[in-house]
Amino acid sequence: MVDPIELLRHLANGTFYSGQKLAAQHGVSRMTIYHSMRKLEKLGIAVVRVRGRGYRLLRPIELLESQYILSRLKPDYVKHVSGLEIFPSLDSTSSYLLRRAAQGAPGGLVCLAEYQTAGKGRRGRRWVSPFGSNLYLSLLWRFATYSAELSGLSLLVGLTVAQMIRDLGGKDVCLKWPNDIVFANQKLGGILLEMSGEMAGSCHVVIGVGINVSMPIAESQDIEQPWINMENILTENLPSRNHLAASLVESILEAVLSFERQGLEGLEYAWREYDCLHGSPVTLHLPTMVKSGKAVGIDRFGRFRLECDGVEELFSSGEISVRTHT
């Protein structure tokens, strides 16, 4: 069998390659090339086969390259990265780092995957993760002491990621509490923070970020809410996936480093500029009840502020979902 990623590197530009030449170049039979192509298809990669011309990818693909991503990181950030691992396929980048953390992996470990077989969203949802089209990235970070403010860290990550997308030209990108990155009421990305450790001692978090870059229409049928891609937002200036991945690593590091320096200080004010719910009538779906009111921002711990009949109530993220009234 040929390593499917090696074969993909060969086919990446989307032009035709004859089965015979591919077989010769990889030192295998044409039948082996045929089976390797089937393997690519099982990963969700559309391969076109035309008699007499050979094989080509339906859509050219840019594979993620760790050396390139690391080389684009500013020195202030790269020194905090203990490793950057890229997998063609994983169950989930966050599940992988949680396993690595349990085995003692150091903080600063970054993991990306081209494809997730069990991508995790918030509230037990599945994160649709087709091959090579979006970004699925997680970071393991270790904190010397547990802080009650850690539950707000995912909002800080949302803020730095949204800032990065605005800097790239996505001017109207905003945030829907607690963790949705949104453009024109459609979801562009999401953040999942998983935490482990002792209340009284050290702890670690795995921050997982998924960003839709170029979602194939076929896979998008499985997404349960309105969604949008980076390529729809940055039509003219869409950076390469590797460039985006480097920017994403920097944004997440910016959030954790800022958290280490000053906790959530200033978050409630910075959030205001990105908050797409502010002033809107909303309904909160709690595990045992539903509550309606007006969204009036977040407090200094990142809790949702709901104004109900002139009285303000605070809600932590957990199992809550927020719906706007349309």
Active-site residue set = 122, 187, 323
When the beta carbons of 57 and 97 are compared against ligand BTN, the nearer one is: 97
Stretch that binds ligand BTN, among 25-33, 149-157, 204-212, 249-257 (CB under 6 A): 204-212
Q: Where are the beta strands (DSSP E) in the chain?
A: 47-50, 54-57, 83-87, 109-113, 135-143, 174-176, 180-183, 186-197, 203-211, 281-285, 290-298, 304-308, 311-315, 321-324
Least gap, CB of 189 to ligand BTN (angstroms): 7
Q: How far apart are CA 109 and CA 85, in angstroms?
A: 8
CB count within 10 Å of CB 7 equals 23
Q: How far apart are CA 304 and CA 4, in angstroms?
A: 46
DSSP state of 152: G
Contact call for residue 208 and ligand BTN (CB under 6 A): yes
DSSP state of 52: T
Q: Which of 183, 181, 253, 232 is nearest to 210 (CA)?
A: 181
Least gap, CB of 136 to ligand BTN (angstroms): 4
Q: Which amino acid is at 324?
A: T
Q: How far apart are CA 321 and CA 315, in angstroms?
A: 11
Least gap, CB of 210 to ligand BTN (angstroms): 3
Contact call for residue 229 and ligand BTN (CB under 6 A): no
Contact call for residue 56 and ligand BTN (CB under 6 A): no
Site string for ligand BTN, 70-109 (x = CB under 6 A): ----------------------xxx---------------
Least gap, CB of 182 to ligand BTN (angstroms): 10
Site string for ligand BTN, 112-151 (x = CB under 6 A): ----x--xxxx--x-x--------xxx-------------
Least gap, CB of 212 to ligand BTN (angstroms): 10
Cβ atoms 249, 242 nearer than 8 A: no
- Total residues contacting ligand BTN by CB under 6 A comes to 21
Q: What are the residues binding ligand BTN (CB under 6 A)?
A: 92-94, 116, 119-122, 125, 127, 136-138, 179-180, 190-192, 208-210
